[in-house]
Amino acid sequence: MSQEYIAIAIAYGIFSLGLGAFELYRTRISGPDAITIFIVIFMLQCCLPGIGIYGSLAAVDPTELTGNSVFDGIYQHLDVTTALVVLTMTIWFAAFFYFGASLGGVLLRRLFPTSNCAPYRLEGLENRFVLILFGGLAYTLVSFYLLGDDIAERFANLVRLRAYDENVVRTEFFAYAYVLTQTWLWLSIPALFVLFERRRRGFAWVSILICAIIFAILSASRRAIFVPVMLSYFTFLLYDKKWRARLILAIAIPILALVLYGKEIFATVAFGGAIEAVVERYESTSSAILRASSEQGITILESLGTLTFLDEHLRLGVDHLLSIAQRFPHRLLGFDIEYPKRIVRISTEAFSTVDAQDIPPGLLGQMWLDFRVLGPLLWGLAFGLQISAAQFLFTRSERSLQATALVALVVFLIALPINTGSYDFTFSVDVIAAVVGLMLTYRVRRMAATR
């Protein structure tokens, strides 16, 4: 099937080039906007990885794939028809996303015409940012201190905690501290831009920067390094409309190395082992490219697994309603509600074992489970309408670093299901806390109307 896989890789490449060219044409006058950010995230997780996955599958030894049992199990059962279905759904999702974004923009402009309202100013409240982030830092450091007797043991236990190791007691105190560390990290990025623009570049700005570094380290994940860099880049992109191609090329190599070896490095710290074994992790270049592409495009891989292994009846979006309902504190209020099995547990059992950590069905896989061939249409419209609201906020607000930092983070939060396809991970404690944090630390002020 090597020729078929090469053809699919070429198709992903042509689609990526076409999508990029269309986005550049669309923004040739106004410059990059909220829609652009969503498309970049979509391309990074659903388009570009397809080139690496299928290009390397055509060359890799079938007995030496990625070294990940879940990944390898999906690839070993992969057929060309399934790969083409996922590719087709990816293309149609992008098309209907643009339609939804355009439709949402038209509706919002009719509901709130420019002549009836003055532009807005999005302002960050630095004192609240400092209070929230320092409170988060205190909680994080206390929980980290209780994980062991010295720094090395504490960090190792932190990585083990993230890996659900049985040797580390996972109490609610430690669990919430871990997941909320990501929230504090996300909030620290707009906080830095708020303080910077308010010319508070002394002790307060340096303190928040140190907090962000601590949060990134104690998140103990590759995502904790990649996301802040991406959010900062998006903030500047929206602010001055410059793509900074050289900067992208410069940071691409270390980020690729982080994707390739980051998980193994954390495992070595937590469970022991030689650094030489990390460097010699892959049997071939093709295997390394396949693993990196699979990690970056895990939503594509999981979608392939969903179409291959899951034979579920139409879900019709019920999984997303259950994701919201399960956040209702029913037990605290005296209700004993037994919800149906979450879709992420169904997909986990299909891809791996009952005891494995959650493995979601992927973006295209969830679309298929929800509405079959109509999935890209309905999901594309839904995402397009959401991003059109963020775009409307962006265009009606005074351009500033603190405003673009907020818009970049909001678009990132909206785009989270691209990575998983499941809203289980969007309606989670860390994301809900981030949304509440933004509501507490930003205010919208109407500027004086001008004639």
pLDDT digits (tens, 9 = 90+) for 142-190: 999 999 888 888 988 888 887 777 778 778 888 889 899 999 999 999 9
Residue 80, pLDDT above cutoff 70: yes
Listed ranges 196-210, 278-292, 347-361; the one with the highest mean pLDDT:
347-361
Contact 132, 437 (CB under 8 A): yes
- pLDDT at residue 116, as a whole number: 55
Q: Report whether pLDDT(428) > 80.
A: yes
Is pLDDT at 92 greater than 50 in this prediction?
Answer: yes
Write phi, then psi, for 51 (nearest 5 degrees).
-65, -50
d(CA 94, CA 11): 15
> Phi then psi for 188, rounded to 5 degrees?
-70, -25
Which of 83-87, 250-254, 285-289 is predicted most confidently? 83-87
Token code pair at residue 407:
């818009």
Averaged confidence pLDDT in the chain: 88
Q: Domain map of the chain by residue range? A: 2-122+241-446
Residue with tokens 């339609």: 99
Whether residue 434 has pLDDT greater than 70:
yes
pLDDT band at 451 (very low <50, low <70, confident <90, very high): very low
Q: Evaluate if residue 437 carries a pLDDT over 50.
A: yes
Closest to 170 (Cα-Cα) out of 145, 137, 143: 143
Percentage of the chain exceeding pLDDT 90: 58
Distance CA(255)–CA(295), nearest Å, equals: 12
The continuous run of DSSP H or E covering 123 comes out as strand 120-124
Is 134 buried (19+), middle (13-18) or exposed (0-12) by CB count in 10 A?
middle
Mean pLDDT computed over 65-74: 89
What count of Cα atoms within 13 Å lies in the side-chain half-sphere of residue 353? 3
d(CA 409, CA 91): 25
The pTM is what? 0.93
